């Protein structure tokens, strides 16, 4: 599969897209210092993120999200990286758009290639990781937008559709958290590592990437809490609507009870008083009507029967975002009888 080599100021970047056994064998021949187990990891899909350090190079496995529009979920895409003195090797499946765009820009823009490759392989690694991490912010922002959309339609749309949207959001947040959180340990290893082929003055830059990852994980944690709160609110609204339906059915059953009782009594196959008299029919209808009116008055007097204005669900939901690290959500639902 495509293997493209870029060189600038004694720095070489080898980018392997959709690697196969032949590509990895060629890489092993060109760089015999690379351990066979690390090379084998390049052919294995979705290895756990890690950093292996050796005397002559560092091997990183990292994962970043890409959006699966069909399933409506963020999925992990792996990138395997070898960093040595003057050498950067990236192996991936071509699923990460920021990586593809960054390599294409480095390949096609002479000034940009001079900027990112002039200082060595490890600064080039920083620029690459910074691009990948920054690309995660629009993905997390999309989660925020979906939360806003669900929150705005919470008291207007059907609970069933809202619950489906919340389930999709919850699944996406869980997926993003599982992808991004392990990357912090890899970047932390870069911060605390001490290798001659990694520039020491990059510690602050690794720390900046780690701060961005921490910020992303904090936002996802807060979004997870918001989803839980909104789900509870949707459940409460759905429960209130079910209660209204059950109450309506109960009232209808009670109101038809007098007529049903009279019809049952006089429908028995026994001799009833005045059974042959024509006034019996009007008498039963009158008794049923009187009992029904009395039940209506009794239920209304006990406030068990409501009118259109007597019952309402008065919701109030407010979401306030103070900054990227703080969020407040308040939801108030009241049922007036």
Q: What is the pLDDT of residue 244?
A: 80
Q: What is the pLDDT of residue 241?
A: 80
Q: 67-96 in b/e burial notation, b at 16+ Cβ within 10 A? A: eeeeeeebebbbbbbbbbeebbbbbbeebb
Q: What is the pLDDT of residue 31?
A: 94
Q: What is the pLDDT of residue 306?
A: 57
SS3 312: strand
Q: What is the pLDDT of residue 250?
A: 80
Token match 């187990």: residue?
37
Whether residue 209 contacts residue 187, with contact meaning beta carbons closer than 8 Å, is answered with yes
Closest by alpha carbon to 65, among 148, 124, 141?
141
**Its pTM surpasses 0.85:** no
- Tell me the β-bridge partners of 81: 60, 90
The domains of the chain, with CATH numbers, are: 3-235 (3.30.460.20), 242-336 (no CATH)
Q: What is the pLDDT of residue 272?
A: 64
- In the chain, which stretches have pLDDT less than 70? 1, 270-277, 304-337
Q: Cα separation of 187 and 3, whole Å?
A: 26
Q: Cα separation of 203 and 223, whole Å?
A: 30
SS3 326: strand
Q: Cα separation of 159 and 149, whole Å?
A: 14
Whether residue 173 contacts residue 227, with contact meaning beta carbons closer than 8 Å, is answered with yes
SS3 197: coil
Whether residue 82 contacts residue 89, with contact meaning beta carbons closer than 8 Å, is answered with yes
Q: What is the pLDDT of residue 302?
A: 74
Burial of 62 (0-12, 13-18, 19+ CB in 10 A): buried
SS3 12: strand
């Amino acid at each position: 599969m495509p293997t493209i080599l870029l060189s600038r100021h004694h720095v070489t970047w080898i980018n392997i897209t959709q690697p196969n056994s032949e590509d990895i064998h060629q890489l092993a021949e060109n760089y015999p210092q690379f351990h066979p187990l690390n090379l084998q990891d390049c052919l294995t899909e979705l290895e756990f993120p890690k950093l292996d350090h050796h005397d002559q190079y560092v091997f990183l496995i990292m994962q970043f999200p890409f959006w699966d529009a069909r399933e409506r979920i963020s999925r992990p895409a792996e990138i395997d990286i070898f960093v040595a003195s003057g050498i950067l090797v990236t192996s991936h499946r071509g699923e990460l758009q920021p990586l593809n765009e960054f390599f294409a820009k480095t390949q096609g823009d002479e000034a940009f290639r001079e900027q990112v490759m002039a200082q060595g392989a490890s600064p080039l690694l920083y620029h690459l990781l910074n691009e990948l991490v920054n690309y995660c912010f629009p993905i997390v922002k999309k989660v925020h937008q979906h939360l806003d959309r669900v929150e705005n339609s919470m008291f207007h749309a059907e609970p069933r559709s809202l619950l489906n949207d919340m389930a999709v959001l919850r699944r996406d947040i869980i997926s993003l958290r599982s992808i991004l959180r392990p990357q912090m340990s890899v970047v932390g290893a870069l911060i605390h590592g001490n290798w001659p082929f990694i520039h020491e003055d990059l510690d602050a830059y690794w720390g900046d990437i780690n701060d961005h990852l921490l910020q992303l994980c904090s936002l996802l944690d807060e979004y997870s809490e918001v989803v839980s709160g909104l789900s509870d609110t949707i459940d409460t609204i759905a429960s209130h609507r079910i209660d209204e339906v059950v109450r309506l059915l109960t009232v209808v059953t009670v109101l038809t009870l007098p007529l049903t009782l009279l019809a049952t009594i006089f429908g028995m196959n026994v001799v009833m008083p005045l059974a042959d008299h024509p006034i019996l029919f009007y008498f039963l209808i009158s008794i049923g009507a009187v009992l029904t009116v009395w039940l209506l008055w009794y239920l209304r007097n006990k406030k068990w029967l409501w009118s259109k204005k007597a019952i309402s669900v008065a919701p109030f939901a407010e979401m306030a975002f103070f900054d990227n690290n703080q969020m407040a959500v308040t939801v108030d639902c009241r049922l007036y009888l």
